[in-house]
């Protein structure tokens, strides 16, 4: 299986995108590009392998592998850029929280994505619009 994450808008307050996998679709939030610095930057465009993974903090989530200079990049629930240290946050729709750009209904979107994937590995192509 192959998913595509297309980044559509970026600012110091976060990077919004759309994740598409066959007939599944959701919006995403990531940090802005900061030269791939751990904990503050989104990951570089490219193709990455994703696998079902047990995280000490988030329990069962998807982890991305093959990111040069980075590790522990996950797909997990969250709404705004301060909820991620480089990870991808799925959401149902784009909105604002506390005046900040956000993805909303993240837990619901993440659950839908994980149910759709059913613990199967997949590749993720990250690109800019």
pLDDT in tens, 25-34: 999 999 999 9
The 10s digit of each residue's pLDDT in 61-95 is 999 999 999 999 999 999 999 999 999 999 999 99
Nearby residues of 58 by Cβ (< 8 Å), 6 or more positions away = 74, 76, 77
Q: How confident is the model at residue 111 (pLDDT cuts 50, 70, 90)?
A: very high
pTM of the model: 0.98
């Amino acid at each position: 299986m192959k998913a595509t994450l297309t980044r559509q808008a970026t600012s110091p307050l976060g990077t919004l995108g759309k994740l598409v996998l066959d007939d599944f679709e959701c919006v995403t939030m990531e940090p802005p590009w900061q030269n791939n610095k751990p904990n503050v930057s989104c990951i570089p465009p490219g193709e990455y392998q994703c696998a079902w993974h047990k995280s000490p903090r988030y329990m069962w989530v998807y982890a991305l592998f093959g990111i040069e200079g980075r590790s522990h990049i996950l797909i997990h629930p969250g709404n705004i850029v301060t909820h991620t240290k480089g990870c991808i946050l799925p959401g149902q729709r784009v909105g604002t929280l506390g005046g900040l750009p956000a993805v909303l209904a993240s837990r619901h979107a993440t659950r839908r994505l994980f149910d759709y994937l059913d613990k199967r590995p997949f590749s993720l192509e990250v690109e800019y619009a």
